Amino acid sequence: MKLVKNIGLVIFLIGLGIFTVLPFIGGVKLSDEMMRNILTESELNNLENRFEKEIIDIDFTSSYGFGSAVKGIYDDVNEEFRANKQWDKVMHTSPKEFSLKLAKVAAYGPVKDNKFAFFLLSFGLAILGAFIFILTDLKLKGPPGIKNDGIYHDPNTSRGWIGMITAAWLIGFYLLLYIAPYGIVNMIFVVEPVKWLFVEGGEASQWFLYGFMYTISMTIMGVRMIIKYRHNKYQIVRTISVVFFQFVFAFLLVEILPLFDLPGKDLKNAWPLDYSFLFDWNVKGLIENGTFGRFVFVWSILLSVIIVPTLVYFYGKRWYCSWVCGCGGLAETVGDPFRQLSNKKLWSWKMERWMIHLVLVFAIIMTIFTGYHTYNEIYGGPEMQDKHILFGFSAYNIREVYGFFIGTIFAGVIGTGFYPILGNRSWCRFGCPLAAYMGIVQRFKSRFRITTNGGQCISCGNCSTYCEQGIDVRAYAQKGQNIVRASCVGCGVCSAVCPRGVLKLENGPEKGRFGNEGPIVLGNDGFQLNV
């Protein structure tokens, strides 16, 4: 069986290797005809001279090199227009999206010509190998029970060389995805056969690629999670739940709804995690879509303002963070091997409190500015000037800064790319504004708590080790004290890895939810020692 597992690993690595080298296969060459067919009249007038000299009929060996050259010209021309105050000529398309559009048209090579074959060679082999590797654990790991042997001796899960390679791959991919998507054109091409299941002959975007990778990764690692924790019904059910919400709400519905001329929205995404909710283009698009668009707009408000805090009151933030959220779902499945790497030191807890609440404040400020701008765009009238300016600051600038530093760098590059270094919940713990919002409710007005039976605790430390949020669970268990923390996402792994059944996730009356605050309890119903 070990041989079969190793064969699965080899197949997976071959598929991953082929996927990784896709950007280096083929080339990019833009002809004059292509340029004239794809550019608008104004873009052609602005860029034609520079393109004729530096882009047209030049053979680029990679889409990254081509896209960088196009983006450089685009930025230079726009800067010149701004310097000369020729505002009517300034182009407003995102430079990276403009470069990606051209790269997809001008790319050539075996990947573009054989998309389905390369899909099978990359995703097909990787998925097959991953399932073989994971399913063999049903036999190799023996009967159901706690399965964490050797986790600090594994070079993948202990910040070893495999973990560092994994982190480098993830960070590199996220940087290309968010900052230079024109560099992964061939990767986008190979998922177009999947896109064709929804739209015949449809073109995939970098976000379709990401959504497909996200969903497939969660599904495969969700199977691993179920096998690993098959002794614990709570872990099985919540893993099925997060995979379901990702697969149906964040992937399928987003692709299916536009087929009926409806907005492709992730209906479980709540503000302030969905920070673009009040952006002018989003609100206008929803309102112009008619009844369903207005329903989505109202639903988003109700979800964020009423449904989220109400369910946190009854069930704690676990209902969202560990059962519904896509970020949490990825952390709980793909990130599970790294949960023990979360920092448990006091300074990290102090930093966590400051960082996550500062991000929440930033999100609120950004929302006020973008909401003001959107209101002016819809109701301000054409005669109103500087609709995006409030207190001397531009809503465009504020949302751009937030999107780059919080949405791209923190949530994407650090939040996921640093799984093998910082643990699987660095974004949820230090940066997610929705987690901060729900955490305030959970800490001060909720029925949720983790109760402890101090008399049964043997101080093995499993609970603290595997707490992805960096909570010293053992310290609470030793005192027989209930755990009521704003950061706790209720994943229940502390309870799942406890060999004595000390910990229990409960929803009960608010009165007494903090339990024993001071004395140390010795024995189940024994005496108390005040210290």
Q: How far apart are CA 440 and CA 368, in angstroms?
A: 20
* Alpha-carbon dihedral sign for residues 336, 172, 214, 488: positive
Average pLDDT value for residue range 118-131: 98
pLDDT for 388:
86
pLDDT for 37:
94
Give the confidence band of 441 by pLDDT, cuts at 50, 70, 90.
very high
pLDDT for 500:
92
pLDDT for 511:
83
Q: At what angle do helices 206-228 and 233-245 cross, to 10 degrees?
A: 170
- Phi, psi (5° rounding) for residue 60? -95, 140
User: Of the given ranges (324-328, 356-360, 380-384), which has the lowest mean pLDDT?
Assistant: 380-384
Per-residue model confidence as pLDDT tens digits over 168-181: 999 999 999 999 99
Give the confidence band of 516 by pLDDT, cuts at 50, 70, 90.
low
Give the confidence band of 141 by pLDDT, cuts at 50, 70, 90.
confident
With beta carbons less than 8 A apart as the criterion, state whether 460 and 488 touch.
no
Q: Is the pTM of this model over 0.85?
A: yes
Average pLDDT value for residue range 29-43: 94
Res 519 pLDDT > 70 = no
Give the confidence band of 530 by pLDDT, cuts at 50, 70, 90.
low
Gyration radius (Cα) of the chain, Å: 26
Q: Percentage of the chain surpassing pLDDT 90? A: 88
Res 529 pLDDT > 60 = no
Res 467 pLDDT > 90 = yes
- What is the average pLDDT value for the chain, to the nearest integer? 93
Rounded to a whole number of angstroms, the distance between the first and last alpha carbons of the chain is: 54
Q: How far apart are CA 107 and CA 185, in angstroms?
A: 8
Per-residue model confidence as pLDDT tens digits over 277-294: 999 999 999 999 999 999
Res 525 pLDDT > 80 = no
Q: Which residue type sits at 162?
A: I
The residue count of the chain comes to: 531
Average pLDDT value for residue range 181-189: 98
Q: How far apart are CA 358 and CA 343, in angstroms?
A: 20
Per-residue model confidence as pLDDT tens digits over 363-381: 999 999 999 999 999 988 7
pLDDT for 526:
46
Average pLDDT value for residue range 19-45: 95
How far is the CA of 478 from the CAs of 45, 177, 462, 489, 513, in angstroms? 73, 46, 13, 21, 17
pLDDT for 517:
55
Give the confidence band of 158 by pLDDT, cuts at 50, 70, 90.
very high
Q: Which two tokens stand for residue 326?
A: 């896509």
Q: Percentage of the chain surpassing pLDDT 70? A: 97
Give the confidence band of 528 by pLDDT, cuts at 50, 70, 90.
low
Per-residue model confidence as pLDDT tens digits over 332-365: 999 999 999 999 999 999 999 999 999 999 999 9
Q: How far apart are CA 458 and CA 307, in angstroms?
A: 40
Sole residue written with tokens 């206008």: 284
Q: How far apart are CA 277 and CA 207, in angstroms?
A: 18
Domain spans, the chain = 27-108, 346-430, 447-529
447-529: which CATH topology?
Alpha-Beta Plaits (3.30.70)
Residues linked to residue 236 through DSSP beta bridges, in sequence order: none
